[in-house]
Structure 1
Amino acid sequence: MTDDLLRRLSRLEALEAIRDLDARYCRALDDGDWDALVSLFTEDGQFVGLSRATGPAELRAFFTGLADSGLTAFWHHVTNLEITLDGEETARARSFLWQPCVQDGVAHIAAGRYVDSLRRVDGSWRYARKQVSFDYFVPLTEGWDHGRFTVASAAATYPGRPFA
């Protein structure tokens, strides 16, 4: 194989490994598999969002404590992953989050964005920093749009295809 082909193959493998890391993060978080979740971060890895936690002990305490704050169920859906490889050992990623959840027994809907810094450790990609910011986090009965969007206004953007 040529050097160029090896470089391209290595790049594709890194991109796929980072996509897989995000999928494993969502599954471990939603399943409450704290050992698996914490293992996805570097030893000095940090989560920033609802709180700030650094290192395995703080990460475990934060994630296991979510239920204490009333957040008893969630389903993380991450999409539109944009990955920038900064070299062979570091990368950055951005993605969108859509998250139905239950807080204090009430169904909620949340959406936001993740911004990640990643490092390759012993051949595996890990989060050095995972940051979430929310665009909305509201009870499902209130809706996320606060009256800005309706089926009628959405249908109006598609002339000739009216919604029943």
Structure 2
Amino acid sequence: MTDDILRRLDRLESIDAIRQLAAKYSLALDMRDADAWVGLFPEDVKVGDGSTGRAALRDWFDQTMRQQFDGTSHHIGGHIIEFDDPDHAQGVVYSKNEHETGPEWVIMQMIYVDRYERIDGRWYFRRRLPLYWYATDLNKPPIGARKMRWPGREPYEGGYHDYFPSWKEFWARTGPSDRPVAEPAPLEKFIATMRGSAAAPKVKVR
């Protein structure tokens, strides 16, 4: 009984620590505290250009934030967390963001698909996959296709619906599904059940 209580307590504390990761990520990014931001990733974090380490990630952060944005605000929404084992978890986080970029104010709706890892008692982001629904000037609603609309760039798709196959399956039907209603997803398998065998999408870095 005691071991079960300890496991459940550890799970609750881990959920809170992982949710704090998403909040800390947003605050550090918006306040441009690069050291605080890269500290949310493990020492061997992989950077998009093939390099590794927090120093390389900090250089990427500095360059990206300095060149593209005057200011940002990231608003965290729903956060689903599921455990693979006591030290590894995955999650999906909604995020509604605002960006001051030169003369335009770009709003964005997206989700992060995350992998988390506990190292030496502390939870880190192992990986964040950003999937975008739209980005557009505040006064220009992104109606139609290719909703990622940044100043000075051609519109493009952001992969927002590509991680889960249900979106395409829904629109491929002309009416309600004739399949039997599925059983509720097993505990810790809600995301995996929704994903099925879908491959992870490839997304442009903004």
The TM-score range, normalised by the shorter chain, is 0.7 to 0.9
- After superposition, give the CA deviation of every residue in 1:30-65 in whole Å (9 maximum; x if it has no partner): 0001000000001222466xx887421231122111
Aligned residue pairs, count: 144
How far the C-alpha of 1:81 sits from its partner, in A, is: 0.4
- The alignment's TM-score, normalised by the length of structure 2, stands at 0.64
Does structure 2 retain, via aligned residues, the 8 Å contact 1:47–1:130?
no
Residue in 1 that maps onto 2:70: 72
Does structure 1 retain, via aligned residues, the 8 Å contact 2:94–2:111?
yes
In 1, the alpha carbon distance for the partners of 2:131 and 2:46 equals 14
Does structure 1 retain, via aligned residues, the 8 Å contact 2:47–2:56?
no
Change in CA separation of 1:64 and 1:53 when aligned onto 2, cut-off 3 Å: farther
**1:133 corresponds to which of 122, 131, 134:** 131
In 2, the alpha carbon distance for the partners of 1:144 and 1:18 equals 32
- The alignment's TM-score, normalised by the length of structure 1, stands at 0.80
- 1:3 maps to 2:3: yes
Moved over 4 A (4+): 51-54
Consecutive unaligned residues of structure 1, counting only runs of 5 or more, are: 147-164
Does structure 2 retain, via aligned residues, the 8 Å contact 1:47–1:129?
no
What letter matches 1:20 in structure 2? Q
Coordinate RMSD, CA, aligned? 1.9
The secondary structure found in structure 1 opposite 2:61 is: helix
- 1:61 maps to 2:63: no
Consecutive unaligned residues of structure 2, counting only runs of 5 or more, are: 145-206
- 1:90 maps to 2:104: no
Structure 1 vs Structure 2: percent identity of aligned residues?
Answer: 35
Does structure 2 retain, via aligned residues, the 8 Å contact 1:90–1:120?
yes
Q: Which has the higher strand share?
A: 1
5 Å matches for 1:4-83? 4-46=4-46, 54-83=52-81
- After superposition, give the CA deviation of every residue in 1:86-135 in whole Å (9 maximum; x if it has no partner): 11111111111100111123111011110111111111100111121211
The secondary structure found in structure 2 opposite 1:43 is: coil
Does structure 2 retain, via aligned residues, the 8 Å contact 1:53–1:62?
no
Residue in 1 that maps onto 2:173: none
Which of 1 and 2 has higher RCO (CA within 8 Å, sep 6+)?
1
Does structure 1 retain, via aligned residues, the 8 Å contact 2:87–2:118?
yes
What letter matches 2:74 in structure 1? H
